[in-house]
Copies of this chain bind each other. A is one copy, B any other.
Amino acid sequence: MPEPIEFYFELSSPFGYLGAMRIDEVAARHGRKVKWIPFLLGAVMKQVGTRPLVEYPIKGEYSKHDFARSTRRYGVPFKLPSQFPIAAIAPCRAVIWARGQGEGRDGELAKAYYRAFFQDDRDISDREVALDVASEQGFDRQAVAAGIADEDVKAELKDEVARGIERGVFGSPFFFVDGEPFWGADRLDMIEEWLEKGGW
């Protein structure tokens, strides 16, 4: 059984969203599964000395144009949220909690959060919204609320972020394919070629 593709995503990242909408298909084409790893970019951005794309003059304007164009290319609906960027801690914890709720349920929940944020302009950083979205996905609202507050869940998210930073994750989306690092939704074609050829 080949290793799953490790997929690090920040829920506030437009290209993380595009990556999330495409990764299952890419992985399936090559007989791979996806390991969904929620990530919080804030800490590592300080270390690296970068900022959210939209905050740069000139480059920020281009980025907004590029978000819209890149998602449109793949038929993925996209609207820059009115609150952006956000600190998506509650939904990240919910995704971590969902790992224990059946195979693939964490990825489904992550995608639901992305759609809520980038399609429906819902502020998923708000705990109540995070619970709403999870219950719309068929999760028990009380169970999710307990999950978000669970100390083990909190610790697991912290560990994932720390481990990601240690492995060199500095942007979103970030992928590892058999240990090889790829940054950016626009690297998915390269990842496909990498999977076909086993590297070069």
Contacts and interface: CB of A to CB of B under 8 A. Distances in A.
Contact of A47 (B58, B70, B183, B193): B58
Nearest to A66: B183
A62 B186 contact: no
Q: How many copies of the polypeptide does the oligomer hold?
A: 2
A160 B33 CA distance: 48
Given A181-B65, A186-B186, A186-B187, A58 B73 contact: no
A44 B58 contact: yes
A162 to B, nearest CB: 14
Contacts of A50: 56, 59
29 contacts: A47-B57, A47-B58, A48-B56, A48-B57, A48-B58, A48-B59, A49-B51, A49-B56, A50-B56, A50-B59, A56-B170, A58-B165, A58-B170, A59-B170, A59-B171, A61-B168, A62-B168, A62-B181, A62-B183, A65-B181, A66-B183, A69-B200, A72-B200, A73-B190, A73-B200, A184-B186, A186-B187, A186-B190, A189-B189
